[in-house]
Structure 1
Amino acid sequence: MSPRKKHGRAFGRGLSVLILLALAAMVAYGWWDFSRFSRTPLHVTQVGQSIDVGKGSSLRDVVGQLREQGLDAHHPLYWRALAEQMRVAGKLHAGEYAIVAGMTPRDMLNNMAAGKVLQRNFTIVDGWSFRDVRQALARADKLKQDVAGLDDAAIMAKLGAPGETPEGRFLPETYAYVKGDSDLDVLRRAYAAMSKTVDVLWAQRDKDLPLATPYDALILASIVEKETGRADERPRIAGVFIRRLQLHMLLQTDPTVIYGMGESYAGNIRRADLTTDTPYNTYTRAGLPPTPIAMPGRPAIEAALHPAQGKELYFVARGDGSHVFSSTLDEHNRNVACYQLKRCP
């Protein structure tokens, strides 16, 4: 063999080795880059970012949304390869997904494969009126508005409770919802939660209470809720009202008067308001008002059904959120003079 042929073969073998080495280097780099991609957090630029995966969306559609939001700029092939590696390709659920700081592509695909959609919370606050609830629902983010054009009676009919008044019927609690849920869905859950709570607590009530029905307990609990936010005072205040009912005394509680005034209430209650008769004026009408006046929380319901024992028939606000209790009218008048008229001896 001539030196020229030997040199040509040696060159060919060297070139093949170089090509193989180059290919190996490219594969190694590609694998390293792919691994880095799967572990690198998405480029989250603001709090509260999310991605909405519609029904029938492809992985390419998802990547397109990520690019539009500036969260990712990798080639769709990387996402496809990662989905295949994780065995979730074709298994991604529709829905809205949160994108949070530190989340990697692997994390996101895991969430989509598991259907861990973004949940938001709606809280009904103890003591809210149904009007407060409706206003808060109207402001809730990503919650479908199905009750906006309905009056209260129509809403209750939609909930399967025609003829019921909505006041007091929804349990103060935090309810999770996802995009696509409606305000009616939240109300339905809150209504069911209150019904179940009242049924359970009513079955465990003290004996000989002057409350004929679970609804009576709900009405009384709503008054207790509006009278105090202090846990230690709820049973005492409930006890005052229970004894007044037993003695056929007027309840004489300002929150019911205020509720009966409706939108005419301007922040102050006057003597004339106490003598102006409405169905909710417990200074002019005996017994409980016709409906609850707010949404009572579970502690207020428990207090109404397990009132504190004693002889107290009166209480007056100190001005610091607490109350002074008394058993006689003379003592009560002295407390009123001291704590409300600032005429303490």
Structure 2
Amino acid sequence: MKARRASPVRRFFTTVLFLLFLAAAGAAGWGWWWLNQPLKLRAATVDLSIEPGTLPRAVAQAVHDAGVDVDPQLLYGWFRISGQGRQIKAGSYELEAGITPEGLLSKLARGEESLRALTLVEGWNIRQVRAALAKEDTLRPDTKAMSDEQLMATLGRPGVHPEGRFFPDTYTYAKGSSDVKVLQRAMRAMDKRLAQAWEQRTPRSVAKTPDEALIVASIVEKETGKPSDRTLVSAVFNNRLRVGMPLQTDPTVIYGMGAAFDGNLRKKDLQADTPWNTYTRPGLPPTPISMPGKASLLAAVQPAQSDALYFVARGDGTSHFSANLDEHNRAVNKYQRKLP
């Protein structure tokens, strides 16, 4: 008795199922291979910053934008399939050569649970930065005995003043890491943020170099009471520089006084000449006076379109801006002297 031959339809579906099985097996094998392959970094070290509330899809894009040659959609798919995408924690991460997609997700999901974190605050000066580093007992204090000059030489910037050169952010690190590595990451972050801001400058900015923009941003950082006033504060200082008017800003005087400042700024302090006294010296001070954040960096190069040359605090965190001295004096009488 002859065996029955499978019908063409049955043979077709059998072949399709077999091919699908091979495809699934191949995809699984490729996926396993990809998860364990080192990611290609565009630099020896890539700094990745994740803001609080960032969704997994945006995290995948941020990884790519930071300098990792990976398809964001593919990486996002891995985040979802793993079930760990929602466990990714905000912070500043350092990605080094050899890290795999699997290792990357593990690093981001552990976040601050297995790493320590140090926050550098917007508006801090270098003395405050170094004091914060010294308090971190889980950091190796390699810079503790260094002068500012030695510190910058160690960081590869000999002859550069350290003020304003570090970006204020939260940096995670492994216990026992050197404080040099944290500062290196903060310095690279400021380099990146400053370059990005400089590329977006408008003709209203009078800064001739990124370093000048950094100095303006540091002043704006210290003088802004309310974020909504930031670009107007920047406009005042840019306008003053444009017309050759002294900046006359108290934070620069205070910075020049250093440890001698006791919390009270007196008339004699405004008259005591230092390189940072913008009452006694024209133009910009020689260095930044603080660490500006992203918003102040952008405000420095994108000042508001305004004729304002003066501003005075209203007492509620905001400022009143004036285009001439008479208007400014009236505002001072109203908001500072409480005159009718």
Normalised to the residue count of structure 1, the TM-score between the two structures is 0.65
CA distance in 1, matches of 2:169, 2:149: 23
Letter in 2 for 1:129: N
Deviation at 1:208, TM superposition (A): 5.3
Question: In the alignment, residue 264 of structure 1 is paired with which amino acid?
Answer: A
Counterpart-to-counterpart distance in 1, 2:297 and 2:196: 11
Of residues 224-233 and 298-307 in structure 1, the stretch that sits farther from structure 2 once superposed is 224-233
Q: Does 1:129 align with 2:146?
A: no
Matches within 5 A, 1:57-206: 118-206=114-202
Partner Cα separation in structure 1 for residue 173 and residue 335 of structure 2: 45
CA distance in 2, matches of 1:227, 1:246: 19
Note if contact 2:205-2:302 (Cα within 8 Å) is conserved in structure 1.
no
Q: What is the alpha-carbon distance in structure 2 between the residues aligned to residue 140 and residue 299 of structure 1?
A: 27
299, 319, 325: which one pairs with 2:321?
A: 325
User: Of 237, 246, 249, which residue of structure 2 is paired with 1:253?
Assistant: 249
Structure 1 unaligned spans of 5+:
1-110
Cα RMSD after superposing both structures: 1.6
Q: Please state whether the residue corresponding to 1:122 is helix, strand or coil.
A: strand
Distance between the aligned counterparts of 1:212 and 1:313, measured in 2?
20
Say if 2:298 is the partner of 1:302: yes
Deviation at 1:221, TM superposition (A): 0.2
Matched, 1:263 2:259: yes
CA distance in 1, matches of 2:225, 2:123: 9
Letter aligned with residue 306 of structure 1: Q
Give CA deviations for 1:256-276 in whole Å, capped at 9, x if unaligned: 011111111111111111111
Q: Counterparts of 1:288 and 1:336 in 2: how far apart (Å)?
A: 25
The residue type paired with residue 179 of structure 2 is D
- The match for 1:223 is 219
Q: Distance in 2 between matches of 1:323 and 1:162?
A: 39
Deviation string, structure 1 residues 148-205 (Cα, Å, up to 9, x no partner): 1111110000000000000000000110101121111100000000011111210121
SS at match of 1:232: helix
Q: Cα deviation per residue 1:4-49 (whole Å; 9 max; x = unaligned)?
A: xxxxxxxxxxxxxxxxxxxxxxxxxxxxxxxxxxxxxxxxxxxxxx
SS where residue 228 of structure 2 aligns?
coil
The letter of the residue matching 1:145 is P
Gaps of 5+ in 2: 1-102
Residue 193 of structure 1 aligns with an amino acid whose one-letter code is: A
Which deviates the most, 314-323 or 130-139?
A: 314-323
Q: Which residue of 1 aligns with 2:203?
A: 207
Counterpart CA distance in 2 for 1:266 and 1:141 is 28
Quick one: distance in 2 between partners of 1:212 and 1:302? 15
Task: Name which of structure 1's ranges 169-178 and 333-342 shifts more when overlaid on structure 2.
Answer: 333-342
Identity of aligned residues (%): 54
In structure 2, distance between residues paired with 1:207 and 1:245: 14
TM score, norm. by length of structure 2: 0.66
Partners in 2 of 1:225 and 1:147 — Cα distance? 26
